[in-house]
Structure 1
Amino acid sequence: MARPPQLDPHASLAAALGATVRSLRELRDWTREELADRLYVSTTRIIQIELATDPPNEALAQDLDRTLEADGEVETAWLRMNRHNHPAWALPYLDLERRATRVRKYAAQLVPGILQTPDYAYTLLRYADPAATEETLRRRVDARMSRRGVLEGSSPPHLWVILDETLLMRPFGDDPAIMRDQLGHLLVMSGRPHVELQVLPLESGSHGLMDGSCSLLTFPEEPPAAFLGGPGTGTLLHDAPAVAHYDVCYDHLLVKSLPAEESRDLIHTTLRERYNCPPSSNEG
């Protein structure tokens, strides 16, 4: 029988991760089928990981690490792979986001990355860097989608998001399906017990966060932090008075925002009136 193909672990960070998984599996004399059974995934999924055609998300990387008793080797390879595909200015925030117990966000213009669909993220990244190759865009989209793993673990943070209504109304991309699917995904996520979603209506008027997006992070054993985002950049704040200022600004937005059910109703209405899309049974 022909030996299964192998990748050069130096070819890419995904290939390095795949080679690590394969090496650890073979060290235990397990077949791909045996590893798949232990992880409750398909054998095809293990092949995809080992051949770097579809790397794991964070949750699966952690499961691989535990199952293979890798002592952090697989998870470290996953983190290295995903850090490479995020802009350098975002990395300090992303490291904090993974450790936070509560994440509160105000989104002024764009759906937060942690809640984006692949098509929405692809369109946004393509507009931001028109010269990027398809391969580069795919890796960046995969890296952004990996942030969903923060919400998929056994102890996800409580995510509270306030969306400006202008975000719902603005056409996005060349295909209406992009925004239609994105709004549907927001409804699905808002049905999860650890995700809160509210809409700040246009008639709410001016407020303290009109110049950009803001994220507030709470941790179990360290001071809170704030992250202010703008086009292609961001500022991470640890200074206690500054963080407290944005905390108050966020509380003011909560008062002005629609309650959760009214916010969901507004998204449903937007889907129906702008995208001729009736509510789906899987929207929670």
Structure 2
Amino acid sequence: MPPACSVLITLGYDLKRTPPGVEARGLRQAQLGEIIFCTGSLIGQIETTRKVPTRDFSERLDAALGTDGVFSRLIGLVLRSQLPTWFQPYAEMEARATYISTYQAQLVYGLLQTEEYARAVLATGMPDDLDGLVAARMERQRILEREQPPLAWAILDEAVLHRPIGGVEVMRNQLARLLDFASHRWMRIQVLPFVAGEHSSLAGSFNLLRFDDDPDLIYTEDLISGHMTANPETIREAMRRYAHVQAAALSVEASAALIARVMEERYGNRPNLEERAVA
């Protein structure tokens, strides 16, 4: 049985039978649905693993059933199990990293995507369970909400700002989210402008992860899967290329100004950057 199925079965079983679950409380699905503001049908689908629950659903369930965070803790495993099998090892390492640096040539980095942007990106793969993939990607972003999240530095090619993923409104909201990080203590964003011309990472996007007690890792993707390596020579080459890309990129402040300009000119809104000044 795939791990994803076994985790979902555990959650469904706990929802239906584990005290003080639905049956133990004498609640019908429709009654519980009224309490946590959803349909009884949805609860039935989650009980039978036909539907992947969201974190919000799990937190409301804990509150309604008095389960002391059981479902809120389990949902992390459930959502991680929805990630592609080849991606799960990277997601686990990403969650443990103390420093993340990334260069993205085509898309906004996954940890910075809005839900609508992520949905448009993930839909291109025509997955069987788009909702589950989107929920899993949003769950990954929780590492940025920790009391002490990883230090993170993202360099985005200017093409990322111009590619209209999901349409005008989705892009407007996505660029606004990028600007929100201009005042974020742990995250910095730079843009590699078109005028930089040829650069050291024309081969594509990559992520570098650093840890307190483990070797550095580099992660890349091809058409159908991802690859991690801790090979010292590969790491040194990746760091050299990243340093060159960073040197060619705009400053954090100039990057925010470019994002705001593209947001106005292409997507119809000019944000106020005065409240997003970078320290």
TM range (shorter): 0.7 to 0.9
What is the rounded CA distance, in whole Å, between the counterparts of 1:23 and 1:210 in structure 2? 54
% identical aligned pairs: 31
**Residue 187 (1) aligns with residue 179 (2):** yes
Instruction: Sort the Cα spacing of 1:264 and 1:281 in 2 relative to 1 into closer, same or farther, 3 A.
Output: closer
Which is worse superposed, 220-229 or 164-173?
164-173
Query: Counterpart in 2 of 1:26?
Result: 20
| TM-score normalised by length of structure 2 | 0.77
What pairs up with 1:201-240 in 2 under 5 angstroms?
201-240=193-232
Question: Which secondary structure state, in structure 2, belongs to the residue aligned with residue 226 of structure 1?
Answer: strand
Structure 2 CA distance for aligned equivalents of residues 234 and 268 of structure 1: 32
Unaligned stretches of 5+ residues in structure 2: 26-34, 47-51
- The alignment status of 1:145 with 2:142, answered yes or no, reads no
CA gap 1:260/1:83 in 2 versus in 1, 3 angstroms: same
5 Å-filtered alignment, 1:43-54, equals: 44=36, 51=43, 52=46, 54=53
Residues 46 and 220 of structure 1: CA distance in aligned 2, closer, same or farther (over 3 Å):
farther
1:158-177 CA deviation, whole Å, 9 max, x = no partner?
1100000111122223x211
Using structure 1 for the length normalisation, give the TM-score. Answer: 0.75
> What amino acid is aligned across from residue 117 of structure 2 in structure 1?
Y
Which residue of the other structure, out of 186, 190, 202, is the alignment partner of 1:198?
Answer: 190
C-alpha separation in 2, matches of 1:249 and 1:25:
55
Secondary structure in 2 matching 1:216: strand
Q: Which amino acid aligns with 1:87?
A: P
Counterpart position of 1:38:
none
| Contact 1:100/1:157 (8 A) holds in 2 | yes
**Match of 1:89, SS?**
coil
Counterpart CA distance in 2 for 1:123 and 1:248 is: 33
CA contact (8 A) 1:227 1:236 kept: yes
Match of residue 55 from structure 1: 54
Distance 2:212 2:55 in 1: 28
RMSD of aligned residue pairs (Cα, Å): 3.4
Q: Equivalent residue for 2:10?
A: 16
Matched, 1:270 2:267: no
Using the TM superposition, name which of 81-90 and 156-165 deviates more: 81-90
Structure 1 residue runs of 5 or longer lacking an equivalent are: 1-9, 32-42
Could you give the per-residue CA deviations for residues 196-242 of structure 1, whole angstroms, max 9, x where no partner exists? 00000111122222121110001011111110123432211111111
Say which SS state the counterpart of residue 139 (structure 1) adopts: helix
Q: How many Å separate the matches in 2 of 1:22 and 1:155?
A: 36
After the TM superposition, which residues 157-168 of structure 1 pair with which residues of structure 2 at under 5 Å, given as runs?
A: 157-168=150-161
Q: 1:232 to 1:190 in 2, by over 3 A?
A: farther
Cα 1:11–1:157, aligned 2, differ >3 Å: closer, same or farther? closer
CA drift at 1:262: 0.4
Distance in 2, matches of 1:141 and 1:237, equals 26
State the SS of the aligned residue for 1:223: coil
